[in-house]
Amino acid sequence: MSFTVPPVDTADHAAPGQPAAPRRGLVMRLGLDRFSGIYVWALFVLIYALWIPRTFLTITTVQSVAGEQAITGIVALGLIFALAAGAFDLSFATLLTMASVLSGSMMVDWHLPSGLAILLTLAAGLAVGVVNGLLVTKVGISSIVATLGMSSLIQAVIDRVTNGGQFITGFPSSFTDLASPKPLGIPILAIYLLALALIAWYLLEHAPFGRRLQATGAGPEAARLAGINTDRMVFSGLVASSLAATIGGILITSQIGSVSPTIGSGYLLPVFAAVFLGTTQIKVGRFNVWGTIVAIYLLATGVKGLQLGGGEGWITDAFNGAALLLAVSLAVLGQRRQGGSRILRGGLTRRRANRPATEQEQS
């Protein structure tokens, strides 16, 4: 070694807004930063257990939280891929409805066997993802605009198929059995979620594909110059998001046993909230699978307790929205210097530009 350059720069950037050294040590050791969600979750459980023990501390509550949130989780897993590649997908919520409507309509109106209906629905969902992907990568439309337009087209299909919003019911039991079993008392949807989460985790964090996908989202030009086919990454992310939403739509139809033409809209915010909140957990600053799962169950537990405690319908939206804004604000304030995800920090870069720039700050 020829020269020792003291690590002033690091200290320099860490300084504003960072806790002082001894406190930081404690925070690190307890994992209060990366695992804060788990601590908050435990706090929720404790509070509700003391407040409403009769209704909250029951097997039914555990089962319903686990089962109800599985769909949110599955759809969120797909959205992680799109966002990690730097693309927004606003079409997944209506696509979820479309998958629900299509699969239901194929079985009830067209009398197709459930297996075929599922396959055709998956194909339709795949097609939506492919079109989204082509619009963004080949035509070059911003992903927000492309998927917003797509979402309106999908809504048109839904209206057409349901004749302007009629419910569809009366599915064969071979279809409703997809979502109803509870082996060992565990809702099977939660098991599906776990299985898909394992696959997503492998793809995103232990396969070259995932590294390339994240590189594309975090620095598209640098990723391209490192030999990554960034268009393919964005395309894959949007397709993954569409497929997950389609699976979610099929499963929810099976779970409820009827199709509502507005079912998907309720998923838009919770899914985004979960994925963004997930970036503050486990792998801080990155869209990641386990962080998202933690976020989902954290939000679900919070909401469930409030509902059981007598809260009204609006409490769910209020809670989800507030939790999302609070958590992401804290995350952005905490890791400005890390340059984490560009999507989270929208608009921040310009403002920073007028502040005294540091040599190593990200662009």
By beta-carbon proximity to other proteins, the closer residue of 26 and 222 is 222
Specify the residue, 182 or 224, whose C-beta has the smaller distance to other proteins: 224
Task: Give the largest Cα separation in the chain, rounded.
Answer: 78
Distance in Å, CB of 133 to other proteins, minimum? 19
CB of residue 146 to other proteins, shortest distance in Å: 23
32 vs 226 by CB, closer to other proteins: 226
Q: How far separated are the first and last CA of the chain, in Å rounded?
A: 30
Tell me whether residue 13 or residue 182 sits nearer to other proteins (CB atom): 13
Residues 250, 179: contact at Cβ < 8 Å? no
Both tokens of residue 266? 């309720």
Query: Among the candidate windows 5-13, 49-57, 92-100, 247-255, which touches other proteins by CB under 8 A?
Result: 5-13
Residue among 179, 200, 211, 259 that touches other proteins (CB under 8 A): 211
Stretch that binds other proteins, among 18-26, 97-105, 241-249, 263-271 (CB under 8 A): 18-26
Do 75 and 272 form a contact (C-beta atoms < 8 A)?
A: no
> In whole angstroms, how close is the CB of 189 to other proteins at the nearest point?
28
| Residues pairing with 259 in the sheet | 168
* Smallest distance from other proteins to CB 345, Å: 10
**205 belongs to the binding site for other proteins (CB under 8 A):** yes
CA distance 199 to 247: 15
Count of CB atoms within 10 A of residue 324's CB?
20
Residue closer to other proteins, measured from CB, 24 or 160: 24
Tokens of 135: 């619009």
Q: Does 6 sit near other proteins (CB under 8 A)?
A: yes
Site string for other proteins, 163-202 (x = CB under 8 A): ---------------------------------------x
Strand 168-169 with 258-259, pairing:
antiparallel
CB of 187 to other proteins, least distance (A): 30
Cα 223–147–281 angle (5° rounding)? 60
Buried b / exposed e along 36-63 (16+ C-beta atoms within 10 A): bbbebbeebeeebeeebeebbeeeebbe
Please say whether the beta carbons of 87 and 129 come within 8 A: no
Amino acid (1-letter code) at residue 80: I
Of 314, 238, 283, 282, nearest to 39 by C-alpha is: 282
Kindly write out the interface string for residues 216-245 of this chain, putting x where it contacts other proteins by CB under 8 A and - elsewhere: --xx-xxxxxxxxx----------------
Which of 3, 29, 170, 313 lies at the binding interface for other proteins (CB under 8 A)? 3
Binding mask 121-140 for other proteins (x = CB under 8 A): --------------------
Shortest Cβ 232–other proteins spacing (Å) = 11
Minimum distance from residue 136 beta carbon to other proteins (Å):
20
289-348 binders of other proteins (CB under 8 A): 337-341
Cβ 350 to other proteins shortest distance, Å: 8
Among 46, 207, 322, 348, binds other proteins (CB under 8 A): 207
Q: Find the shortest distance in angstroms from Cβ 6 to other proteins.
A: 5
Look at the block and give the residue holding tokens 């997944």.
92
Q: Which two tokens stand for residue 139?
A: 């035509």
Please give the Cα distance from 73 to 145 (Å, whole number).
25
Query: Which residues make beta-bridge pairs with 168?
Result: 259
Question: 351 Cβ partners below 8 Å, 6+ apart?
Answer: none
Q: Which of 178, 153, 155, 147 is nearest to 101 (CA)?
A: 155
Chain residues binding other proteins by CB under 8 A are 1-16, 18, 20-21, 24, 202, 205-208, 210-212, 214-215, 218-219, 221-229, 285, 337-341, 353-363
